[in-house]
Amino acid sequence: MIGTSVLVYLLQVVLGSSFTSLLSFSAPFEIVQPWRLVTSLFAHAGVFHLLFNMYALFIFGGQLERTLGRGRFAALYAISGVGGAAAVSLIAPVSSVIGASGAIFGLMAAFFVIARSLGGSNGVQLLVLVGINLVIGIVLPNVSWQAHLGGLVAGAAVAFVFSKTRHRSKRGAQTAAVVGIGVLVLAIVLWRSYELASAYGVI
């Protein structure tokens, strides 16, 4: 994921803003340009945006992938990212967003939930970190706090399922619940996209 994000950013630098605009998530266009939901997770607004997200992905993602396994980690990351897009679609429907921040916030929420379920630390420092970043997202312009919030909620929900279904006998229930969360956030994105595309004459 880090390598892909770096490669996409290099392409953004070379190809310019018109290329970046095709990668960003924009709810009114998602229904007719479905790749945006995926590409927006790998595109970034600048080098510091990229470095911050990739550092957070390295720190939290590495530990979560070792704990959950590659498949569960990929599901967590993807659903968190789509959860961020769902929140943007609901709260800031005409905004255009790029970056892995929604997915990163999902990882931070998951790290907290899973650490607590395993009897780890109380996670006060992580909660403070998340809180500070949420406030920064609200205060600073051109930062999608909506994506942060959506990713946070989706990531926490998936992690809660993982923490309650660790036993092998519950794997079926785990899969069903995680798929259900994924379908829900994706349905929100598609529903809002269709609604907005119809309203703005995109379709």
Q: SS3 for 121? A: coil
Position 122 scores a pLDDT of 63
pLDDT at 44: 96
Q: What is the pLDDT along the chain (203 residues), one digit of tens a residue?
A: 899 999 999 999 999 999 999 999 999 999 999 999 999 999 999 999 999 999 999 999 999 999 999 999 999 999 999 999 999 999 999 899 999 999 999 999 999 999 888 876 667 778 888 888 888 878 877 889 999 999 999 999 999 999 999 888 999 999 999 999 999 999 999 999 999 999 988 88
Whether 157 contacts 108, CB under 8 Å: no
Dihedral of alpha carbons 7, 97, 185, 145, sign = positive
Give the per-residue pLDDT at 127. 83
Q: Where are the domains of the chain?
A: 2-199
Query: Which among 176, 160, 27 has a CA at the least distance from the CA of 87?
Result: 27
Using a cut of 0.85, tell me whether the model's pTM lies above it.
Answer: yes
Burial of 110 (0-12, 13-18, 19+ CB in 10 A): buried
Tell me the catalytic residues.
101, 148
What is the CATH code of the structural domain delimited by 2-199? 1.20.1540.10
